[in-house]
Amino acid sequence: LRRRSWSGMVCASPPRAGTWPWRGTSGSSPGVRGSRSTLRTTGQLAEIVRRGVAARGWQRIDPATRTFQALRIWVNRELDELDSFIGRAAARLQVGGRLALISFHSLEDRVVKVFFKEGSFQKKEEHPFENRTNISAFSVISKKPILPQDVEMKMNPRARSAKLRVAEKKLE
C-alpha cells in the first residue's frame, strides 16, 4: 500500500470521520508528505500514524488503533451496510414493532441515534419561513443507550463498547 493511498483514504476527512480527533493530521506529517515508499507491514503504518499525531501526553487509545478501525470501516463499507440494514429492517417492521440495535463505536451509534430520531436517512428540505415540526416514524424507547454491566464486561471484554438502542415504530 502506498503511503499516499492510505493517507487519502484515512486522512481526507470523509463525511463520517468526524469523531476521529486527528483526522487530516497523519497524511500531512513530514514523515508522510512527499513520500513514495511502500508500506510493507502494519507496524510501519502504525509508526507513521504515531509520528504524525501531535503529542498529547498519555492517551487511552493508541492513534494507530483508530487508523486501523477507520481503514476497516472504509474497506468493509460498514456505515453504508448499516444504513442499508436499518432501512430494510424499518420497512419490514409493523407499526408497534420494536427495533433494537447494538452499536460498537461512535459512528455506528450516531447513525442509529439519528435514524431513530429522524425516522429516515433522507434530508428534509428546509424552508426558513415555514414552521415545521419533524415527525419521526419511531418513538425512542431508550433515551440513553443501554450499556453492558460490569459482570458482562468481565465475562466478555469486547462488550465494553457496546451500546443498545431501542425504538418502536409508530407510523408507516
Look at the pTM and tell me if it is higher than 0.75. Answer: no
Strand order in the sheet with 138-140: 98-103, 163-169, 138-140
**Contact between 6 and 38 (Cβ < 8 Å):** no
Mean local confidence (pLDDT), 133-160: 88
pLDDT of res. 130? 55
* Residue 64, C-beta contacts closer than 8 angstroms, at least 6 positions apart: 45, 46, 47, 49, 50
Could you list the beta-strand ranges (E) of the chain: 98-103, 138-140, 163-169
Q: What is the mean pLDDT of residues 45-53?
A: 83
The dihedral over CA atoms of 24, 38, 48, 107, expressed in degrees to the nearest 10, equals 50
Q: What is the pLDDT of residue 168?
A: 95
pLDDT of amino acid 113 = 92
pLDDT, tens digit, 9 for 90 and up, residues 2-14: 545 555 555 544 4
Q: What is the mean pLDDT of the chain?
A: 78
Please give the pLDDT value at position 49.
83
d(CA 20, CA 18): 6
pLDDT at 62: 82
| Residues 74-104 pLDDT 10s | 999 999 999 999 999 999 999 999 999 999 9
Cβ neighbors of 98 (< 8 A, separation 6 or more) are 141, 166, 167, 168, 169
Kind plus residue range of the DSSP H or E element containing 3: helix 3-11
pLDDT tens sequence across 26-44:
444 444 544 557 888 989 8
Percent of residues, the chain, with pLDDT higher than 70: 66
Task: Report the percentage of the chain scoring pLDDT > 90.
Answer: 41
Residue range 118-127, pLDDT digits in tens: 876 655 555 5
Least confident window among 48-57, 59-68, 86-95, 146-155 = 48-57
First to last CA, the chain: 47
